[in-house]
Amino acid sequence: MPKPTFKVRIWAIREHVRSGPNTFELRWKVGNEPFSATFKTKTLADGERSKLVTAVNAGEPFDEISGLPMSVVRARDDVSWYAHARDYIEMKWPDSPAKTRTTHADMLATATPHLVRSRVGMPPARDLRTALYSWAFNMNRWTQEPPDQVRKSLAWIERHSLPMSQLDDPMVIRRVLVAFTKNLDGSKAAASSVIRKKNIFHNVLGYAVEARRLPHNPLKLVQWTAPAAVEEVDPAVVANPRQVRDLLAAVRTQDARGRHLEAFFGGMYHAAMRPAEAVFLRDANCYLPPDGAWGMVTLGKTRPRVGSSWTDSGKPHDERGLKWRPEKETRPVPIPPVYVRMLRDHIAAHGVAPDGRLFRTARGGMVQESGYGVVWQRAREKVLVPEQSASPLAKRPYDLRHAGVSFWLRSGVDPAECARRAGHSIAVLLRVYAKCLDGAMEAANHRIAEGLTEWD
């Protein structure tokens, strides 16, 4: 795509004989591309030439495609923020996982109410949020007829949305950044949420530069720092092996659903599976040798629950490969004999679904967080003393994954191998589990001290 250039040459007006009498031609060149325009009077031609000369003298770049100053091109192509946001969704939608689609919609639904000319007559915040998040920025619903309240809210936004040219104002951008720091109810937003929205906003504005709707990304002009996000796993959430064993036993003794979910939770600990990976674990992905030997699970597919309106299939669970990995990449994870026995017992007792899934609901559907979350909380209440139950210790099923990886590190497993098994990069592993390495560091210091003593 041709880029704006400062290489412009403008010739004098000449009478264009071939076009008939009293016709005048303006000729100029932008880069290597020649341009011309004809006028009925010399005065009109001189006026247009004067505009081009003024732009050149002001040091303004010209567009090699149209031959016009970039300010004229942007004014001609200026669209509203709302239209640009929908263009961005349409551009991103085909190649984005369903979960990513929701994060894009979330950011745009937060920013859009703050990019309006006036707030007079603005719909209630929650109504506007629903209209933007669930309809305006959900491409699957663009062909559906929205409810009356949604239609009115979107019509108001469409009328009052700022033109993109006005986003080249740092104070307008700052207004949006401040909005990212608050939840809809006015409470303080999580730092990770603020950073995520800021990054997506930066990408949306970058797309505006690419579409020649902005001369540059105005986010870079704002002296604003996002709150620091804590990525490290808090050791307070990490259960020790005895606590994990007791929690899994408490899951097993609850009821039929608990017995079915014991191996589901066990996979998060012994194989560091993410819940979306455990949901789609199939018997074909499991190597389960006789008792006493290590086995292997090969993870390759995930089924994160997002909502049927966001997926291409229309099903609540999105069909994806491993997180942050190419679609067909797999991750083999060795599993200890205790988990091999757990899976063998599970298959013997419950069988597998027609598609080979090990874990499913009573009706054969995908296991859902709303169901297994209740089972996990009951197990915590049964096993943990009141002080522990009120603490963050193993509060979420996902904390089993943290406990598993932390146990590997504390056992002296090489961080590179821990990262591979967990599906992390080494840098992310060391950053996220930095506080869980204390025991390993102490052991390493002890071994180094012993070595120095020998040389003494």
Please state at what angle helix 191-210 crosses helix 81-92, rounded to 10 degrees.
100
C-beta atoms surrounding 54 within 10 Å: 11
* pLDDT per position as a tens digit, 171-202: 999 999 999 999 988 899 988 899 999 999 99
Are residues 329 and 322 in contact, defined by beta-carbon separation less than 8 angstroms? yes
pLDDT class of 1 with cuts at 50, 70, 90: very low
Q: Is the pLDDT of residue 335 over 90?
A: yes
Mean pLDDT of 382-403: 91
Ranked by mean pLDDT, which of 141-150, 328-337, 423-432 comes out on top? 141-150
The CA angle 396-399-405, to the nearest 5 degrees, is 170
Give the per-residue pLDDT at 288. Answer: 94
**Cβ-proximal residues to 417 (8 Å cutoff; 6+ apart), any chain:** 408
Are residues 288 and 295 in contact, defined by beta-carbon separation less than 8 angstroms? yes
Give the per-residue pLDDT at 400. Answer: 94
Q: Is the pLDDT of residue 20 over 80?
A: no
198 to each of 110, 181, 203, how far by Cα in Å?
Answer: 11, 10, 9
Alpha-carbon dihedral angle through residues 238, 240, 245, 247, given to the nearest 10 degrees: -40
Q: What would the two tokens of residue 22 be? A: 């009293």
* pLDDT per position as a tens digit, 215-260: 899 998 998 888 776 667 788 888 989 999 999 999 999 989 999 9
* pLDDT per position as a tens digit, 284-331: 999 999 878 999 999 887 777 788 889 888 888 777 766 655 567 788
**Cβ-proximal residues to 446 (8 Å cutoff; 6+ apart), any chain:** none
Give the per-residue pLDDT at 366. Answer: 86
DSSP assignment of 414-442, as one string? Answer: -HHHHHHHHT--HHHHHHHTGGGGHHHHH
Exposed, middle or buried by CB within 10 Å (0-12, 13-18, 19+), for 191?
middle
CA-wise closest residue to 123 among 131, 134, 115, 111: 131
pLDDT class of 151 with cuts at 50, 70, 90: very high
Give the per-residue pLDDT at 352. Answer: 93
3-state secondary structure of 186: coil
pLDDT class of 450 with cuts at 50, 70, 90: confident
Q: How far apart are CA 29 and CA 36, in angstroms?
A: 8
Residues above pLDDT 90, as percent of the chain: 57
Q: How far apart are CA 357 and CA 359, in angstroms?
A: 6
Are residues 201 and 172 in contact, defined by beta-carbon separation less than 8 angstroms? no
Lowest pLDDT segment from 33-42, 102-111, 424-433: 424-433
Q: How far apart are CA 226 and CA 178, in angstroms?
A: 9
**If you search the block for the tokens 């001189």, which residue do you land on?**
46
Residues above pLDDT 70, as percent of the chain: 93
* pLDDT per position as a tens digit, 401-414: 999 998 998 888 88
Q: Is the pLDDT of residue 168 over 80?
A: yes
What average pLDDT is seen over the chain?
Answer: 88
- Burial of 91-124, coded b for 16+ CB within 10 Å and e otherwise, reads ebbeebbbbbbbbbbbbbbbbbbbbbeeeeeebe
Lowest pLDDT segment from 43-47, 53-57, 166-170, 440-444: 440-444
